[in-house]
Amino acid sequence: MGRLAKPLALLLCGLVWAGVGTLSYVPPANAQFFWFFDQKKEPKKRARTAPRRGNDLPKIKPPAEEVLAPPPPDDRPYDEKLMRLAEILGAVHYLRELCGADEGQLWRDQMQEILRNEGTTAVRRAKLVNKFNDGYRGYRRTYRSCTDSATRATRRFSTEGAEIATALSQTSVFASGPQAQIQTPQDGNEAAQPGVSNPVRN
């Protein structure tokens, strides 16, 4: 073993020398902290660009009275009655359909006529349509079949709607000009019928 001991001792010394030599040149390891999670990111600064040519004109500002003036009101003095009439039309449309009146879209068509004449703006149209739908949906929730109560409600709404329509039409006639004169029969042979008038034509 004498022969092998000398080369092994040399090999061992060489390894120790190489290990010590490599460790002496390696810097000590720093502790690793995850500090990048705790850092607050600052917002990126935007580079200011020079204004383009032609944009150096002063901004135009409208006069103060134009800015403060509200738009003209779209309300009319008879709107409360008109909204109630729209709601009644919606309720009658549902109730008559429920009770099998086979009138098709008669009441919806009446509402379309009101919208054509009175729905001058989108807001006004939306109010009228919402009232019609409120009447329709309100009674659709209440009545699922035609009952005596539904029939009475239909009659009551028909009467109220006729009164409102008459009041609105009289307001319209007075607002548009002189009222048409009503001619009554002079001889006793022709009996005057209630609700029927014969306008005089000059």
Q: Is residue 57 part of a domain?
A: no
Q: How many structural domains are present in the chain?
A: 1
pLDDT of residue 16: 79
- Strand partners of residue 170: none
* CA 146/CA 152 separation, integer angstroms: 10
- How far is it, in rounded angstroms, from Cα 166 to Cα 161? 8
Question: Could you tell me if residue 15 is inside a domain?
Answer: no
Amino acid at 4: L
* pTM of this prediction exceeds 0.85: no
Q: Are 85 and 114 in contact (CB under 8 A)?
A: yes
Cite the DSSP H helix spans in the chain. Answer: 2-25, 64-68, 79-98, 106-118, 122-142, 148-176
The answer to whether residue 63 sits within a structural domain is: no
CA gap 99, 89 in Å, rounded: 15
Does residue 83 belong to any structural domain of this protein? yes
143 falls within a domain: yes
d(CA 97, CA 119): 25
Full domain range(s) for residue 101: 79-173
**CA dist., res. 157 & res. 19, Å (int):** 106
Q: Would you say residue 73 lies in a domain?
A: no
Please report the pLDDT score of residue 8 as a whole number. Answer: 79
Residue 101: inside a domain, yes or no? yes
Give the pLDDT score at 23. 63
CB atoms near residue 132 (< 10 Å): 26
Does the residue 146 lie in any domain?
yes
pLDDT at 93: 92
pLDDT value of position 180: 43
Residues of the chain below pLDDT 50:
174-202
Please provide the size of the chain in residues.
202
